[in-house]
Amino acid sequence: KIFSLICAVSCSLIWGSAFIAQDLGMDYNGPFTFTFGRLFLGFLTLLPFFLIFEFKKNKSILFNYKNSINLFVIGFLLSAGNALQQFALLYTDVANTAIFTIFYVILVPFVSYKFFSKIIHRSVWLSVIICLIGGVLLTEFNNIQVRLGDSIAIFNALFWAFHIVLISKFLREFNYPITIACIQCLYASIFAIIPALITENINFADMLLDGKEMIYAGVLSSGIAFLLQIYGQQNLSPAPVAIIFSLEGVFAAVFGWIILNQYLNDIKILGIVLILVAVIFSQLAPIYDKKKYG
Q: What is the pLDDT of residues 123-149, one digit of tens each?
A: 777 877 887 788 778 777 677 777 899
- Would residue 117 be called left, alpha or beta, if left means φ above 0 and alpha means ψ between -120 and 50 degrees? left
Give me the helices (H) in 50-103, please. 55-58, 65-91, 94-101
pLDDT at 120: 67
The burial class, CB within 10 Å (0-12 / 13-18 / 19+), for 168 is: middle
Distance CA 93, CA 177 (A): 32
Residue 43 pLDDT grade (very low, low, confident, very high; cuts 50, 70, 90): very high
Q: Is 242 a residue whose pLDDT tops 80?
A: no
Provide the angle, in degrees to the nearest 10, between the axes of the packed helices 225-235 and 238-260.
150
Name the CA radius of gyration of the chain, rounded. Answer: 18
Residue 293 pLDDT grade (very low, low, confident, very high; cuts 50, 70, 90): very low
